[in-house]
A and B are shown apart, each in its own frame.
Chain A
Amino acid sequence: MSTSFHPLTFWSIFTALAVGVVLSDSAISAFLALGGAAWIVYRFRGDGPWRNSFKWSLIAGLYLIAIRALAGIVIGVPRLGDTLFTLPRIQLPSWMPGIRIGGPVTWERLSFSLHEGLIIATVIALFGAANSVTSPRKLLRVMPSRIYQLAVTLTIATSVFPQLISSITRIRQAQYLRSGRRPRVSQVAIPLLEESLGRAVALAESMEAKGFGLSKVQSRYRPITYSSRDLIYIVAGFIFSGAMVAL
């Protein structure tokens, strides 16, 4: 089903949601937005190499919350409130005023850190969700023709990533099987570099042989158009986002 949507539809919905979450700055709206995003991804996810971006961005978000919380506990400005526990405090030189490492950890300080981490993680997850439902390449296809050539160049640059990941896995496995040890970075990097260069040259040759770049103007195959369904979804997304800010 996802193919019949305009690529900009989901991107604008998720952008609206992200703006809504940041402006409303509340954990409830963040969870609501994540829930909405999860539903959309579940329902309209494509089958390309990007389909799992939402999952990965969620995992990245969890790490981010953890790091933010940890930083909030250890470093920071003192905040008054109920002290949960006290960490040993490290004395900093006098020319670093206002920064503290260690000391009492209050409930307010912890919840503030978690809250901030959650908001940032939500924004990241929303963009991950947008990638899951519409591949960035599709988005590039609807860019105005003036930047179409730039868009194609970007498309090619992005096409390298899924292949790069599978090549890395393949090379690592081969080396691991040979020596029984995890290979060092250089061991993987050199065969990888060789392969990527080969691929890049092959791709450039293929584009040149097909006449890419010869004509200043390019036509579009099956130009993508808006439908009323796109409009309904976008309006719904904006209302949802507006409601979050208003409440």
Chain B
Amino acid sequence: MIKFSRVSLIYPHSTTTVIEDLSFEISEGEMVLVMGHTGSGKSSLLRLVNGLVPHHTGGILAGEIIVDGRSTRTSKPGELAGIVGIVGQNPIATFVTDTVEEELAFGLEALNFPNDVMRKRVEEALDQVGLAPLRNRDIATLSGGEQQRLAIAAALVMHPKVLVLDEPTSALDPVASEEILAILHRLVHDLSVTVILAEHRLERVIGYVDRILLIEGDGSSAIGTPSEILKKSDLVPPIVRLTRALDLEEVGTSTRDVRRITEKLRSDLPESERPSHIAGRALVSAKDICLSYGEKEALKEVSIELRASEITALMGRNGAGKSSLIKALVGLMEPKSGYINIDGVNLMQIKQSERSQRIGYIPQEPGDLLYLTSVNDECSRADKDNALPKGATFELLHEMLPSISGNSHPRDLSEGERLTLVLALVLSGAPDILILDEPTRGLDYSAKNRLMALLHNRACEEGTTILIATHDVEIVAEVADRTIFLADGEKVADGSTLDVLLASPAFAPQVAKVMSPRRWLTVSDVLRSQELSE
């Protein structure tokens, strides 16, 4: 279905090739995962499939790409609309119209399909992704998962043979992402659609894909079955780290496989406790806060406590009230009733300048805080803002990320580097509370590990109170001491991470699923038991 022969790509005004001498073939009805570090050219590769690169972006393409018998060199992306459907990284930015039905019809209208055909196709696509009840809804009112489903449906109306998706689950909670993957799985198996997707959260997709295409930033690449590729890759999901750490011969990619090969281990290993964590005093206490937007209640009598030297995770489905709670905690929204105290002083009574000093806030888009033209400039502004000696912030940044250059433009940094820069800027003010909103979106495993080490260090060494709102179960399992779970504006769970995550099947991390009923969340939990037995 898709054939890349000796493909190389270089963008204009650039001296390095994004993709070098890449050859592979994908046959009909295959589901292929494209994997690689951030900035390794995954998105470029995906957009080569329908010719958006280089027709839309510019750049020089060497070699030949044949999709369903047509060369992308001679066919424009629009001419391939009936063959390749593409779903971008941020679906909301790619919607052209106001409502669900109109969006689905847009592509068909553009290619002048007769009305009766359009009606049938729209109906079909709505059913395929389960959006029929929302057909007349305004797109802006859809949830993240619904928007992603709509983007997929908008590609499906064209009856494509190939569906290309760039990080389809990165913004979604575990439940919504399961729904998306189930839809893709069905498309592959029932309709023999060829699916190519890129995703950083391997643990979510690994069980669904037939093959993996691994591209390294240096131009080398490999394609093979998941177990072949994961055997040698350094980007691996927790489940593979587990089999590696236990020195097992096989590399299992599904919970079922690994459960099978670890059966003996599960029953033999002794019980082990997670090292107990000593939290400091309660620094932030929120009592019975209610918050509403117009008639919609966003928070209903939520009480939480954040303690010094403790990392707390805030979880829940999209729209459960996580963002509202964060807005209340940083003082952007005053609760309708209830109060939030910091060190016994009501948050609303503290001046914003003092609040900013005490509460470090990392927004969902770290780039929102960057506006200068170099890393050095951003750092020296932070020095000035926080009355630090010159170069102090850059030193901090350098400690966190030794490879960073002070002269690079913030916009040229990768997602992970940019997040680290913003963290350094905020941490240079030495806040005693740090709040992060969905920090792991778009990060690969190495960037995530760096972030986790940094947060852990902050909490233990400096005694910082940390709150992370996230969908990323694995990061919660690794770093959070305590987990708070919100659902529909109410607090439904608040306790040690171990108890909370094990209680909910949808939000359980991969290792926990494999090791159930044993109470282990991460690879290190299992290893600790192994050490005990020796």
Contacts and interface: CB of A to CB of B under 8 A. Distances in A.
A binds B: yes
Interface in B99-121: 101-102, 105-115, 118-119
B359 to A, nearest CB: 7
Nearest to B50: A209
Nearest to A207: B96
Interface stretch (A73-81, A124-132, A183-191, A230-238): A183-191
Nearest to B351: A180
A219 B112 contact: yes
Contact of A137 (B55, B78, B98): B98
A209 B102 contact: no
B174 interface: no
B97 interface: yes
Interface stretch (B85-93, B505-513, B526-534): B85-93
Nearest to B363: A174
Interface in B40-81: 47, 50, 52, 55-56, 76-79, 81
A246 interface: no
Interface residues of B, number: 69
B330 interface: yes
A174 B369 contact: yes
Interface string B365-376: 101111100000
B254 interface: no
Nearest to B386: A179
A146 interface: no
A193 to B, nearest CB: 10
Interface stretch (B133-141, B334-342, B444-452): B133-141
A177 interface: yes
A156 interface: yes
Interface stretch (A13-21, A92-100, A197-205): A197-205
A209 B361 contact: no
Contact of A175 (B111, B122, B368): B368
Contacts of B81: 209-211, 214
Interface secondary structure of A, over-half rule: helix
Q: Please indicate which of the listed interface residues B79, B93, B140 has the most CB atoms of chain A within 10 Å of its own CB.
A: B93
A162 interface: yes
B94 interface: yes
Contact of B140 (A49, A190, A194, A213): A49
Contacts of B56: 204-205, 208
Contacts of A191: 365, 367-371
Contacts of B330: 177
Contacts of A163: 92
A41 to B, nearest CB: 17
B426 interface: yes
B325 interface: no
A190 B109 CA distance: 36
Nearest to A181: B353
A135 B368 CA distance: 30
Contacts of B96: 152, 155-156, 159, 203, 206-207, 210, 212
A178 B88 contact: no
B112 A155 contact: no
A202 B79 contact: no
B189 interface: no
Interface of B: 47, 50, 52, 55-56, 76-79, 81-82, 84-86, 88-90, 92-98, 101-102, 105-115, 118-119, 122, 136, 138, 140-141, 154, 158, 330-332, 351-357, 359, 361, 363, 365, 367-371, 385, 411, 425-426
10 contacts: A48-B140, A170-B365, A174-B368, A177-B331, A178-B361, A180-B355, A194-B411, A202-B89, A214-B81, A218-B112
